[in-house]
Amino acid sequence: MQGVRVNKVDLAHIFGIDPYAVDTWLCKGLPYLRKPRPKNGEPADEREWLFDTAEVIEWRLSIDGVEYGW
């Protein structure tokens, strides 16, 4: 199932967390569709992280089980 494609700020809002917490999730293996590109003439939307909400939910459920011993 495909979710909604969102940027980092929107993802943080959906999960009720600070955008800096998304950085922590990225270090733990958070799946993403696109990394930001340098500002070398790239379109503005290519300079943001892009996430699929369904993939993130699936990842969070799997990592919560590991973190809490489920």
What is the DSSP annotation of 9-32?
A: HHHHHHHT--HHHHHHHHHTT---
Cα(69)–Cα(22) distance, integer angstroms: 22
Residue 35 in tokens: 């990394």
Average pLDDT, the chain: 85
Residue 25 pLDDT greater than 60, yes or no: yes
Across the range 13-32, mean pLDDT stands at: 95
Across the range 52-66, mean pLDDT stands at: 88
Look at domain 5-67 and name its CATH class: mainly alpha
Give the model's pLDDT for residue 43.
61
pLDDT, tens only, 27-53 = 999 999 988 776 666 665 556 899 999
Say which residues have a Cβ less than 8 Å from residue 30's Cβ, sequence separation at least 6. 22, 51, 56, 59
- Please tell me the pTM assigned to this model: 0.79
For residue 63, give the nearest of 15, 18, 19 by alpha carbon: 15
